[in-house]
Structure formats: C-alpha cells, structure tokens
Structure 1
Amino acid sequence: MPDNQFNPRVADQRVGYFSQRVTDLSTYDNYPQRDLINKWRLIKKDPEAELSEPVNPIVFWVEKSTPEEIKPMVVKGIEAWNFAFERAGFKNAVVAKIQPDDADWDAGDIQYNVVRWSSSPRPAFSGYGPSIGNPRTGELIAADIVQEFNAIKRGYDYRKIWGWTPESDPLEQWIVSLTMHEVGHTIGLRHNFSASYLHGPREVHDISVTGNTTISSIMDYDPINIAPEGMEQGKFFPTEPGEYDRWAIEFGYSPELSDEYRAELLALSVQDPYIYGPDGDAMSSPGRNIDPRAKRYDMSNDVVVYTDDRFNTLDKKIAELPEIYNDEGETKNDFTRTFYSLVGEKGRFMDAVSRQVGGVYVTKLVNGQDDVNAYEPVPYEKQKAAMDLITSRFLANGVWDFDPTIVKNLQREKRATGYGGGGNEDPQLHEFVLRMQTRVLAALLHPAVMTRLVDSSEYGNTYLPDEVLSDLFNGMFVAGETPDTYKRNLQSFYVDALISVFDDKSEYDDIAKAAVFASLQEINKFTKTNSRKPDVKNHYLYLNWKVDSFFEDY
C-alpha cells in the first residue's frame, strides 16, 4: 500500500481509538510504545480552506435488503458523523449511498463499505462494526457493519411500550443511534462507557439542555432514556455525535496536529465531556475495575437519583402492561417477555448503583495537570445514598409485591413441535428476583471492593467495611418486621455469603473478615431474640442454626 499523503498518528491513552501496536526498540524511554491509531485517509480538496470537502470521502452503502422504513434512518445515522468531522476541518466527509436493487456487486465485496442486516436466531449484539487497517500505518482500508434484525424489532417494542409520535420516535432514534455507534467503530473509535456521566438526572430529559444527544459519546451503551412522570419526554436516544466524539475526531483526523495543538486537545481530557472509559476500564462484573463512571447501561452523573426515578417509571409501566398487550387472539408471550424485561431493568440499574460503593474516580494524567488527582474516592455522601437506595428499594421487605392478576398470566408460548416440559412452568419470580439481588450483593461484598474501601482511606475515603456491613445488616434484618418470602430467600443467601468469606480459598483480608465476623454475631443475636409467626420463626431458627454451626466449626 502506498503511504504517501497519509500521516500516521500516535495514540494516547486519554482518547479512544483502535490502534496498531508499535514498540520502539531503539528508544531509551521506559515506555517504548508508539501505537498508531486506526483512521481513514482524508485529504482536503482545498488545503487552505478552514472547512473543505475531502478528495475521497468515506462512503458507506446501505444494503438493498434493508427494510424500506429503516433505510432513511440508517442513512441519517451514517451521515450524522459529518457534524463531528467539521471539527477536524472536513465537510461531507462521510457519505451514505443505498445499494441499487439491480446492483451487479455483492454486499460482501471488500471494495465496498456496507451496512448489512442479519437475522440471527440468537444474536449476542444488535450490531458489529469490524474494519481492516494497515498494520504499518493504521490506515483503514475497508469496513463492514452488520446490524441484527432484532434491533428493528426492539425499536417497535419501544414504540408499543413507551409510545411515539413522528416528532419523537424511539424506533427512529434507536436505529439512528445504533448506526452511528457502529459507524463510529469503523472510523476508528473504541467504546467510551463513561460518556453517560454528563448531565444531571433531570437535565438529561431537557432537550433545551441536551440538544440531540443525552451523552458525551455515541460510543457508550446507553439505555432508552425515559422521562419520569410529570416531566416532558426528552431524547430517547442520541441522534448526533456528542462533544467527546467531536473532540476525538478532531484529535484523530485534523490534517495537521502540532505537538502544541495535540497537548492542548489532550489537556481537555480531565473535564467531564471528555472523560474516557474503554472496555478495559468498565465495571462490568463484580470486583472488576474501580471507576463507576465507566459502566454500561447507566445514565446521568447521579445514577442514584436517576435509578430512583426509573423505578417509579417502571412500576407504573408494569401496572399498565395488561392494557398494552390486550390484542384479542394473541398469546401471553409478548406480555410475559416485556414484564421480565422491565423488571430486569431494575436489576441492571441497581448494578450501576452498587458500583458507587468503594468506587474510585480515575483520571489519566500527565505532569503539569496539578489541579486534578489521578484517584479520587466517590464522595461519602454518594456511597451512602447508593447504599440507602439499594436497601430501601431493592432489598427491602415488600418491594417485590407483584400484582397477582399480572403474575397469574405470565405464560410463555410453546412451540407446536416442542417436546419440553416436566418442570415448573409457572412464573419462577423468587429465583428471578434473587438472581438480581445476588448480583448486587456480589458487587458490594466482593473482596476487591472490601480491600479498596480500606486502601482508598489513605486518600480520602471514609466509608469503611464495618459501616458497609452495618448498613447492610440494618437493611436486611429489621426489628419487628415480618419478612416476606423474597426477603427470607435474600436473608438466607446473605448469611451464606458472609460465612463463605471464611472459606479456605477466600481472598478477603483480615480487616474485611473482622467486619464480617462482627456482622455474623449481630445476625446470631437477631435470629435468637426475634419470635414471629410459625413459618417466620422457623426461618430464623434455620438462619440461627447456620450461624451457630459456623461459630462452632470456625
């Protein structure tokens, strides 16, 4: 491949590009990496113009098999990137074309960058955006986007559940957003899961504040944004690149990037619109990573308030499901699927809330940025607010009190040719709820989190394991309360989880073990002194036996 007129650009950890690994073995630097970002070759037609069309734009073809209603949405999602490329001095840098019905070329031809549609039986994702780059320079030479048909079906579900108008259509906004995201990958950009940490939990619904985007980067995984009752609906999904995206494109695609210009751009990375949280930094599973801003499917810079609002919205919508899914002659399948989806959203949002406890904000710094620290613990008040929401709206007695008229109709459609069966086919809500609760507890009690609570006390954290365990105990075991069956399941699991801290292969340090030991003593006393109606009394006798057995054996 010719390298003339292509200027490779050295990557930087503060802005997210896919890159080609380059290690300089001739340098005396202790960090010899000189990775080159992946980007397309864009050359201005008029090099002197502040804004110029490129000699060869980046062209994406929309496959002819794309549903007619969806084609203009895909085109809009592709060409939305021109807003970002203007920051780098290019207009009409990205062009969308629709493959003619009588085209004599196949969508698999590598000479064409094509947005294709697939209908997989069990798709793992809604879309994919692979590309091919020159390993010596980082120049991108080909790309394809595959989007799954289930994404379109999801958009129609959004319409049915949340309503729509031609001016405010969740289907259109979702397809535009999804297309933008996948195109973002093919022009070089990596995920940025910190992008939702931009607007406040109420501002994010105000279009006069957000404009056409609710997040700083389209490269996040964002949930559908639903305004709480009493507020006007804002954007369901972003439909143009955010400020981070424009900044990243300016960094990657500006024709000339002097050392001074580069340093000025990258210095912005410490500000909220430009923070970057890639896959490797995301708090995806319990104990993984430390910055709660880097999280999939969260929203706003105060996830506690946003989640509290969302729970109210979800409860109201769940109650409306019998009216939404009442078409005569239809089975209960869509009704059931949507019920589990909406209830499951509670678990997903509470996962994000749980990451506040023991969380540490991470800022990638260089010398000279003395007004910012590399590590800052999540403020005590935010951690406490997160714990309060978890115990009051997710672990508390009575919060899973479902309407029996809904539960008794949660029936999945059976395939006519199927041979399944033999087990309980009625709703297994206790298991479903406990799975969500245990994910949250796994995050709160993870040995890495317990260790981090203590280590971060060296630089400002004051929410320590003893208080965390005390707050969980007070939320889990309430004097005078008659726990329902969901709470009993939860209490039993919690006791087992605490006892497991002392397993032979445990990774907990002694500070965490001491806090857990004290909490088990509290549970031991509580379960001995509280008498209830027979079934509850038996429950506490069982828990007391578990704890007593632990103390006898330990």
Structure 2
Amino acid sequence: MKEKAFLHSFITFCLFILLLVPVTAHSQKKKKDKKDSTEISKDSTDSKKGKKYDDLVKKGTVKKGLFNIIQVKTDVYFEIQDSLFKREFLVVNKLSQVPFQLNDAGLNKGMNYENKVISFYKDTIAKKVWVKSYVPKVSSPKEDAITESVKNNFAESIIEVFDIETKNNDSTAVVIKVNKIFDGKQKSFNDVLSNIGLGGSVKSEHSYIEGLKSFPKNIVIKSQLTTSFSEGGQSLPITLGVTSNIILLDKTPMKPRFSDNRIGFFTEKHWYYTDTQQAVLEKELITRWRLEPKKEDEERYLKGELVQPKKPIVYYIDPSTPKQWRKYIIEGVHDWQVAFEKAGFKNAIIAKEPTEQDLDFDVDDVRYSVITYAASQKSNAMGPSVVDPRSGEIIESDIIWWHNVMTSLQSWMRIQTGPIDPKARGNVFSDEHMGEAIRFVSSHEVGHTFGLKHNMGSSFAYDVESLRSKEFTAKMGGTAPSIMDYARYNYVAQPEDNVTVITPKIGEYDKYAIEWGYRWYSPDENETTKLNALITKHQNDPIYFYGEQQANIIDPRSQSEDLGNDAVKASEYGLKNLKRVVDNIINWTYDKDQSYYETGKLYMGTIGQWNMYNFHVMNNIGGVYLNPTVHGDNKKSYVPVAASMQKRAADYLVKNVISMPKWLFFNDILDKTNPLKDSPIGPYEYTAYTLSRDIQYDVLYKLLSDDRLLRMTENELYQGNKTTEKVFTVNDLFLKIHQSVFAGTLQNKSLSIMERTTQKNYVDVLIVSINKLFEKTDVKKAIDIQETLQMPHLCSLDDAHMARNINNTSLKRVAEVTSDKKGELYKVLQLLKMKKSTGDQSTKNHYLDLIQRIEKALNNTTF
C-alpha cells in the first residue's frame, strides 16, 4: 500500500512537472512577445516624432541661429536647445512702422516701448514649455540664509505656456509653435497697444507675422498688428509694424558701477540683501557700455597708454537719412573720441553708414545701434538705450532723429545769434550752417546713449562777461563745460564782441564724466576708492559741477536754456540782442510774394525767448542752491540765493514784466502780422494785447506761487540770525511789486490800458491763491500760455530721476503765505477805496471793479 501510494505520488509529481514546463515556456514566450510589442511601439512613437520633426523641416524653411526658426506656411516654430532652458533672455520690442495718426501723435519708427527679462522651462511630464519673467533688481549671496527668502519673495511669474509639438531627431531640442505671441492673439511677449497708450486689443484676423531672422545670440520677429481707434465718433483702422528681438543675456552680467549723485548718469535701481546687514541696501547702477581693453592690452592700459577697446561702440546711420546731413551726424558722434581718450581708449566709438559688408544690417535688429531718421512734423531728437537691468550694461542704443528738428535749430540760431552772425538770419540756412547745428544735436543725443543725463547746472560755471570774450569762448569751445546742458547758443555776446565760437561743444565736464563712468579697473584695484578720488579731485571746481534737471526749479543754477552765473546780467544782454532781432524781423524773413507766415513765427519765437529770460531771473527769488554733498567734504547742502541777487531779480521783473516792453508788443510788425504759432488746425494768431496780458498773468502767478513764498519764509526763519546780509523776505517782495503795480494810483494819475491790465492781473493772482473756487480755471490758463510760448526742446526722453524732492508746502493754510497774500489784498483794497474817485472815467470804473472783486473774494473765503 505504501509502494502504491508512493508510486501514485511520484506519477502525480511527474505529471505536474510535465504540465509545468510547457506552461512556463508559454509564459516566457508571452513575456517576450509583450516586450517585443513594447519595443515596436516605442520605436513606432520615436519614429512618429522623428517623422513629425522631419515633416516640419521638409515642408517649411529653417533659419538657424539662437533658436532654429521653422516656418511652415503661416505657422512659426521655435526649436529650443536644451542648453538654453533656464537661461535669461531680454525681449526688446520696437515700433518699425506707424500710420499717419500715430506719426502725428509723436510715435515713430525706432521707438523702444517694452522690454522684459524671460526664461524658458521645459516640462517633460506635462509636455509643455513654460515662460517665466521676473524683475532682476534684487541680489543676495548664495551662501546666506536670507537668499532662500529672497527667492521666495521675488519669484518669477508665468507669462506664457506652449505645447511641445515634437523633438528634434537626437532629442536635444524641443519644438514649440509661437504664432500666438507675435500675431497679436496674446500680449505676453508684446503688449504694444497698452505700452503706447492706445489700449484695446489687436484684431488678429487683420494681423500677421511679417518676417523672421535668427542669429547666434538673438532672433528678430517682425509683425503687422491692427487695431481700431475711435476719433470723432468714427472708427479708424490702425496698423502698427512692430519688431520683437529676443536676446540671449550673458551668464555672468557685467560688473556694475554704482552711481554717485555728484555726477550725472542714468541708473537702474538694485536692492541687496545679506545676513549681516541691519537694513536692506539700495543702490543705483549706472547705465554704460561694456568697454574694456583686450586681454593682451591690459598691462599697457594700466600704465596709461591709449588702447583700442575689445569691442568698440558702433552707430549706424539710417539709410533714409538725407545725404547732406550724414557727415555732420557722424562728426557729432566722433566728437566724443576725445572724452573716451580721457578714459584710456582710442577709437572707442565709430559712426558709419551701412555698407555691402553689413549683409544682415537691419535698423530694427538689436545688434545694431542706429541713428534712426523719422519723417515727421515733430521737432525733436532723443537718445534712449536698451539696458541689461541686471547690471546696467547698455546693449544697444537708438537715437530717434525727427526730420523737423531743423525748425528748432533754425529758431534758436535766428533768435539767439542773429544779431552777431549774419549766417543765422534768413528763412533758409546754408547746408554748412545747418550742418554744424545738426552736429551739435548729434553730439548731445549720443551723449545720452553713453548713459549721460542732462547737466543743467553746467552753464553756471562760466562768468557772464566771459561769454563776451572772443579768446575765452575760443579756448573753452562753447557756451558751457558740458554739451549735456541745455546751453544753446551764445545770446549774451554783443555784435561788437566779435565772438565766433557760439555753438555748444564737448566740454571738460563731459570728458570727466566719461572718464568716471568708463575707465577700466583691474580686479586687484579698489574701484570705489579710485572713483571717489576722481570726484574729490574736481569737487571744488565749478567746471565739473553737476546740476540735476528739475521739474520745478528750486536751484536756479540748473535751468534749461540759460547761460552764465548771473541770470539778471545774462538776460539784460539777451534783451539787447532781442531788440535787434525785433528791429530786423521783417527784413530777415522777407521773401518776395510770400505771406508773413515766417515773420509771425519768428516774432512769436522772439516773445518766447523774452519770456524765458523772465523765468531764468524769477527762479532766483526764493531759490536755493542744492549741492550734492557727502560726509567730510565740508560743503553746505542748502544755500539760499543771496538776498542781493533776489532783489536784483525782482527789479528786473518790475522793469521788464510789470512794465510790459512796448518795443516787443507794440511795434511796426503788427502792421503786417500778429505773433503766430503752428497748430493742428494751421497757423494760430495771438493779438499782442491778449498775449501780453496772458504772459504777464502767468509770470505773476508763478512769482507768487505758494512754494516760492514758503521757501522765502523758511529762509527768513532759518537764516535770519546766521548772516549779516539782510534776508529778502516775502513782505519785501510784495512791497516792491505793490509800489510798481500801483505807482500811477499812488500818484492820482489816470491809468493807461496796460496799467489797468497789470493791476487786474495782480489782484486776480492774489484772489486765485486764496479762493479755490477760481484756482482750477486760472491755473489751467497759466499752463496753456506756457505751452503756447514754450521754446523747442530736445530729448523728450525725461531723465530717470529729477532733482531731490523737497516738501515745504504741507498745510499751506496754516503757513504764513496765506496771511501774507490775504494781507496784501486788504492793503490793495484800502488803497483802491481811498483812490476810487481819482483819474479819468476808465480809471474810476476800473477801481470800482477791483474793489467789488476783492470784497467778494475776501467775503467768500473761508479759512
């Protein structure tokens, strides 16, 4: 039984084994078949991907470069190498074409309207490419604990996402379709309408991608984008040509140079966090080109030899520039060579016309800095730059040169130099004379593209009398130590002085500023110490003074269009020359059988120049010299303008504004034409009576502005016991004006029309200052007249930061200025009541009118 049982068990075991073997073999075969199937499937997928990539390349065209650009009919694809993911790029957007409506509004080809730093991130799980952007203005050491917090609190933001369409054949790059960011469907890369102020959305059905270029470090995409704009109830189509550059930024940014408020450079703000600090450190990086010697020339450079930079700064002249002006624009750029030699570099800047060797030249390509010529009625020029915000490095600059800037140049030269220069008198200048003016503007604008701000205080370095010296002006080469000042032409020199050097040129401050900004220092040198030493060396010489541009003038040294260190004396010389201009306006503008259009324009320009002198002088009243100071320099930061100068300024205004100049407003020119100014609806004429009273009102309003009077009060309070010179007070100013405005009244005389007008203006200015019911209307009136008279300006690009903001106007209702103005009104009222029965009938009517106005204003005023 045991044997049978054993045999049965053995047979059963054998059968099991026999059955097991084929099952296992079958299982293994199934596994093998499954594996083969998987491999076939994988090979099939890879084949499909490769096939899709190959199909794209086969069907379309490929432009190789930073990103390979594949274009299949109207579809555009970027092939992005894996090595470029997480790298930083700068998107630079510019206008490349504008229609009439935008041209007329001052928008033109070449204008850079939007820049942003982006990075691409590959997401293999979601099969997408994410695009993120951030503001690169914050830094911290990698090893510091706070760095983690910096990353989390200044993180990137997602601005776009793309599906991965396919990979290239060796899987080292992915392909994405990018139409939506360039044809107007998405604003992530290019929000042109918001940035130029139109708003709204692009009509994608009327928009398209126009051109594609790819280069080793950048790509260029051009588009035509259409929107609509409502004007007068009518919807107008607006199509913009735009160019987007995507630039690969260096892995290691240029070493930044920190700004100093004693020298004027445009800046980029930056914040620094460290574990050891007790407060965040805010610094400003100056904007400048990366100018450095070649490796083999470093030792020679450090010994003081001039060397050629590793990479010079090159400007191209727009081929659309009229041929007769090209050489003057080029000369204006090359005039800066002497400044860069001061910094140790020769042949540092090049300006040239594009040649056949520049096969890829495109004015919209960010690799080329271009002086772009804009066909426009706008009379201006400006020099903006594209900057790497991480370091302040200037990557590219585009000077926008509006064709009509020559009208401004001609106006300046005729009015400011016509009395001393016969070449500057006619309706049309010779090419040579206009060319020299163009050269000056070229130098000024290219100075901005080196990073230099306006230095409005430069002209104050020269004594007014020295501007009448032929020898001095020839030696110094212009009207100020800096071409970055708005020190136009020499209006101080008189005909008998025989001064010939009357045009602004590169000056000593310009050379000094370029040396400070561009001198290269080796890693072993203490750059900060060297830069501070350079400033210290020059800090007591007024030639090297930097005066910031001001929105509202506090420091009268730093004014636009002024000359010399004494505004009263300079303006008095200017008036002598203006009288000569007025005497010759009709002769200088004579053109047989032509209208008096040029005569009227020159007449208006002359009035504008006279009014500019008024403000140059006025800003000394209540003025404060704002000195950029540091610990240890023993300088005062705030120095009130001397009382003697303020008195002289007030006397000038009494003589030349309160008593309106008859030679300017009531002369033989009015037999032929009124002053006129161009407007969108054609030449607009102003009668002399209307214009004169409007200008006088404007001057009086600004002379008695609250902030000016409050500065005078502050000076009286602070300086009263600190100086032997009597302070010029608010009451002194009111007394001087009162005695002049009411001189005829005090003498019981009948008043002329202009005397009555002056009294009305003065009373109305006081009323609007204490009665807010009238203030809104009359302030606008004051602004309008300034826009009418404003002399042409260059550089609509405002400086990044204006001068220091000083608050002295808070709680004006409880300041002395309100009492002073109200007290003056009471004084005027008492005088008028006492004199209301004197003079002729017109004078009596005038007094009764003023009495009623003042009583109503005082009764309606609540404090």
TM-score, scaled relative to structure 2: 0.58
Amino acid at match of 2:754: Y
Residue equivalent to 1:134:
388
Deviations 1:21-46 (A, max 9, x none): 11112262657112211111112242
CA 1:206–1:419 in 2, change beyond 3 Å: closer, same or farther? closer
Matched, 1:318 2:582: yes
**Does structure 1 retain, via aligned residues, the 8 Å contact 2:556–2:625?**
yes
Q: Distance in 2 between matches of 1:299 and 1:412?
A: 26
| Cα distance, 1:306 vs structure 2 | 0.6
Deviates more, 1:536-545 or 1:149-158: 149-158
**Does structure 2 retain, via aligned residues, the 8 Å contact 1:527–1:540?**
yes
Amino acid at match of 1:496: D
| Cα distance, 1:305 vs structure 2 | 0.6
* Structure 2 counterpart of 1:328, from 561, 585, 592: 592
Q: Distance in 1 between matches of 2:604 and 2:682?
A: 21
CA 1:426–1:216 in 2, change beyond 3 Å: closer, same or farther? closer
SS in 2 for 1:136: coil
* Structure 1 counterpart of 2:698, from 430, 439, 443: 439
**Does structure 2 retain, via aligned residues, the 8 Å contact 1:205–1:235?**
no
**Does structure 1 retain, via aligned residues, the 8 Å contact 2:411–2:605?**
no
5 Å-filtered alignment, 1:395-414, equals 395-396=658-659, 399=662, 402-410=665-673
Unaligned runs of 5+ in 1: none
5 Å-filtered alignment, 1:375-454, equals 375-396=638-659, 399=662, 402-410=665-673, 427-454=686-713
Deviations 1:121-180 (A, max 9, x none): 3x2x51111111111111111111011112223334556662328999763442122111
Residue equivalent to 1:266:
535
| Cα distance, 1:101 vs structure 2 | 8.8
Matched, 1:76 2:346: no
Q: Distance in 2 between matches of 1:111 and 1:520?
A: 64
CA 1:218–1:509 in 2, change beyond 3 Å: closer, same or farther? farther
Residue equivalent to 1:186:
449
Amino acid at match of 2:486: Y
**Does structure 1 retain, via aligned residues, the 8 Å contact 2:567–2:616?**
yes
**Does structure 1 retain, via aligned residues, the 8 Å contact 2:750–2:843?**
yes
| Cα distance, 1:234 vs structure 2 | 4.0
Deviations 1:63-105 (A, max 9, x none): 2222233222111110111111122111221111123499753
5 Å-filtered alignment, 1:74-473, equals 74-100=329-355, 105-121=361-377, 123=378, 126-157=380-411, 162=418, 163-164=422-423, 171-210=434-473, 211-226=476-491, 227-239=493-505, 241-256=506-521, 258-267=527-536, 268-269=538-539, 271-279=541-549, 282=550, 284=551, 288-370=552-634, 372-396=635-659, 399=662, 402-410=665-673, 427-460=686-719, 462-473=727-738
CA 1:439–1:102 in 2, change beyond 3 Å: closer, same or farther? farther
| Cα distance, 1:390 vs structure 2 | 0.6
Matched, 1:518 2:823: yes
Residue equivalent to 2:268:
20
CA 1:134–1:61 in 2, change beyond 3 Å: closer, same or farther? same
Amino acid at match of 2:442: T
SS in 2 for 1:60: strand
Matched, 1:58 2:306: no
Deviates more, 1:153-162 or 1:32-41: 153-162
SS in 2 for 1:192: coil
Amino acid at match of 1:546: R
Matched, 1:7 2:269: no
Deviates more, 1:106-115 or 1:302-311: 106-115
**Does structure 1 retain, via aligned residues, the 8 Å contact 2:369–2:396?**
yes
**Does structure 1 retain, via aligned residues, the 8 Å contact 2:829–2:851?**
yes
Q: Distance in 2 between matches of 1:9 and 1:457?
A: 41
Q: Distance in 2 between matches of 1:322 and 1:472?
A: 35
**Does structure 1 retain, via aligned residues, the 8 Å contact 2:458–2:543?**
yes
Q: Distance in 2 between matches of 1:368 and 1:356?
A: 28
| Cα distance, 1:263 vs structure 2 | 1.6
* Structure 2 counterpart of 1:34, from 273, 277, 283: 283
CA 1:297–1:482 in 2, change beyond 3 Å: closer, same or farther? farther
SS in 1 for 2:592: coil
| Cα distance, 1:271 vs structure 2 | 3.8
| Cα distance, 1:221 vs structure 2 | 1.9
SS in 1 for 2:323: coil
Q: Distance in 2 between matches of 1:67 and 1:92?
A: 26
Residue equivalent to 1:539:
846
SS in 1 for 2:423: coil
**Does structure 1 retain, via aligned residues, the 8 Å contact 2:675–2:685?**
no
| Cα distance, 1:323 vs structure 2 | 1.1
Q: Distance in 1 between matches of 2:450 and 2:667?
A: 51
Number of aligned residue pairs: 539
CA 1:101–1:453 in 2, change beyond 3 Å: closer, same or farther? farther
Deviates more, 1:293-302 or 1:222-231: 222-231
Q: Distance in 2 between matches of 1:373 and 1:37?
A: 26
Please report the RMSD computed on the Cα atoms of aligned residues, expressed in angstroms: 3.0
Q: Distance in 1 between matches of 2:541 and 2:414?
A: 38
**Does structure 2 retain, via aligned residues, the 8 Å contact 1:488–1:539?**
yes
- Quick check: which has more Rg, 1 or 2? 2
SS in 2 for 1:457: helix
SS in 2 for 1:21: strand
Amino acid at match of 2:756: R
Amino acid at match of 1:392: K
Deviates more, 1:127-136 or 1:474-483: 474-483
**Does structure 2 retain, via aligned residues, the 8 Å contact 1:332–1:411?**
no
Amino acid at match of 1:366: V
**Does structure 2 retain, via aligned residues, the 8 Å contact 1:393–1:399?**
no
Amino acid at match of 2:443: M
| Cα distance, 1:341 vs structure 2 | 0.7
TM-score, scaled relative to structure 1: 0.89
**Does structure 2 retain, via aligned residues, the 8 Å contact 1:170–1:236?**
no
CA 1:544–1:398 in 2, change beyond 3 Å: closer, same or farther? farther
Q: Distance in 2 between matches of 1:313 and 1:355?
A: 22
SS in 1 for 2:404: helix
Write 1 or 2 for the structure with the bigger share of strand: 2
Q: Distance in 2 between matches of 1:303 and 1:444?
A: 16
Q: Distance in 2 between matches of 1:438 and 1:413?
A: 20
